[in-house]
Structure 1
Amino acid sequence: MIQYYEIIVKPFLDLKLSETEITFILCQIVWNYAGRRLQGQTQAAGERFLEEISNNLHSYYEENSGDHQFGGIESSGNGTVAEKNDKGNYASRLAKMMQIVNQMLNIQLKREDTMDIAMLFDMFNIVFTEPEFFKV
């Protein structure tokens, strides 16, 4: 669990994400995972949805670029480096968000492989102590 903190939680907290950014990350995780599993019209719909949410995130950044406040960095209005870098340039922030998405998808893929191996070798043995309890 500590490894997940370092690769997922810590970057997530460091970015101080807004609700819009969290929604973007969650949608990326869900639809990228679904894209691996689904085909045809569902996959095409997922791709359209991801394109739409990416456009919405871009609009969000454009609307908030004048606030000088991305990721909890507040500027004092005196032309600081943080203010100049954040104003209208969110590429590095987006790259960090996509790293979180990719790390989550990699973790899921590893767990899926582990589950496949566990099923292959029949490692899950469930013994009911009271079978009558589970009768419907």
Structure 2
Amino acid sequence: MDTFLGRSNLIIFCARNADQKFKYYIDLQFLLDKAAKVLEKGAETPIHSQNPLEKLAIGLQKLRFPQDSNKTKIVTRVGREEVFALWEDEFLKVTQWLTYFNEFQNLPQMLQLEIVKRVWKVFSRLEKLATTAIARRQKICDENMIVAFIEKDLVLCDLKTLDVDLSWCTKYTFEQLKFFNKIDFEKQADALVQPMLDLQPTDVELSYMLCQLCFHQLGKHHQGVLLEISEQFQDSLSNHLHDYYVNSLGIKNYVNRIASMMKINNKIQNFVYHDRVKQELMRVFDIFHVKYSHPDLFQNS
């Protein structure tokens, strides 16, 4: 990642020992330690708002579109360093964003980190979708491109021409692995960007969509305390969304807006399920030769 972001990497990539079956070991502990420090520090900028969703929206705006951003990069090749940079940015972004959510901040830090570990990938799907929709609407990128802010850089890549190097994690090429992926990321983007362009959600609506998607996935795959927390958060945020429509926007009939929002989220959930099935199939066929220090980071991806 030194060549991608210009600084040291928090994700450590190591060769295996001779007596181990896997080929490479990926240590994510430094990334988790960094996230724990972010959670301990809390929100970088104090934001005062009676509606927690509006506070989350302001925090989201700060994270997605940094004011001192002045560099645009077009990525034509993605390999190990770029993937690690993306993971690190995604994980720390959702960690920082949730520090703007008071109810989340009231949880014990260990529980906060467990939630982040289980929602960061699905958060990133929707957040990058929304960023790409804005970029396409503003003619910043072509229709076949996806867009993301990675730290303070605006990164663009063309899905049709992107060169993907997977030699660091498998002996198979990206083209060969398409056998397992009948619905690839390009098709997912095509199915989701247009509905997002049609909806044009406000930052508050997008914050609600992100929360609903994350906490629904959390409750769907976990029982006990995490399920209870996810249900409490979803109920609370639904009330705050109602308050936003009625008191901030003066809108009483917002059913169609919510239906459009949930349609997008449901599509993402369907793609997540498809990808989980694909990952299980790849595991059965022993496609990847890496081992993670914390495999639970990728269980809900």
When normalised by structure 2's length, the TM-score is 0.34
Match of 2:199 in 1: 15
More off after superposition, 1-10 vs 31-40: 1-10
- 1:125 is displaced (CA, Å) by 3.8
Match of 2:211 in 1: 27
Counterparts in 2 of 1:18-57, with a 5 A limit? 18-57=202-241
Match of 2:123 in 1: none
Does 2:187 align with 1:3? Answer: yes
**Which has the bigger relative contact order, CA under 8 A and spacing at least 6?**
1
Distance 2:283 2:190 in 1: 29
8 A contact 1:8–1:103 mirrored in 2: yes
Does 2:260 align with 1:96? Answer: yes
Distance 1:65 1:30 in 2: 25
- 1:35 is displaced (CA, Å) by 1.1
Residue by residue, what CA displacement relative to the aligned partner does 1:3-26 show, whole Å, maximum 9, x if unpaired? 223322211121111111001110
More off after superposition, 17-26 vs 29-38: 29-38
Distance 2:233 2:282 in 1: 34
Does 2:271 align with 1:121? Answer: no
Distance 2:215 2:200 in 1: 23
- 1:107 is displaced (CA, Å) by 0.5
Distance 1:2 1:119 in 2: 23
Distance 2:243 2:231 in 1: 18
- 1:29 is displaced (CA, Å) by 1.1
Per the alignment, in what secondary structure is the counterpart of residue 223 of structure 2? coil
8 A contact 1:7–1:100 mirrored in 2: no
8 A contact 1:31–1:46 mirrored in 2: yes
Distance 1:44 1:125 in 2: 36
Larger radius of gyration: 1
Q: What is the one-letter code of the residue matched to 2:198?
A: D
Distance 1:32 1:18 in 2: 21
- 1:109 is displaced (CA, Å) by 0.8
Match of 2:273 in 1: 109
Return the structure number with greater helix share.
1
When normalised by structure 1's length, the TM-score is 0.72
Q: What is the one-letter code of the residue matched to 1:113?
A: V
8 A contact 1:61–1:88 mirrored in 2: yes
Q: Among the aligned pairs, what percent are the same residue? A: 31
Match of 1:134 in 2: none
Q: What is the one-letter code of the residue matched to 2:246?
A: E
Q: What is the one-letter code of the residue matched to 1:123?
A: I
Match of 1:73 in 2: none
Q: What is the one-letter code of the residue matched to 1:121?
A: F
Which consecutive residues of structure 2, in runs of 5 or more, have no partner in the other structure? 1-184, 291-301
- The total of aligned residue pairs comes to 106
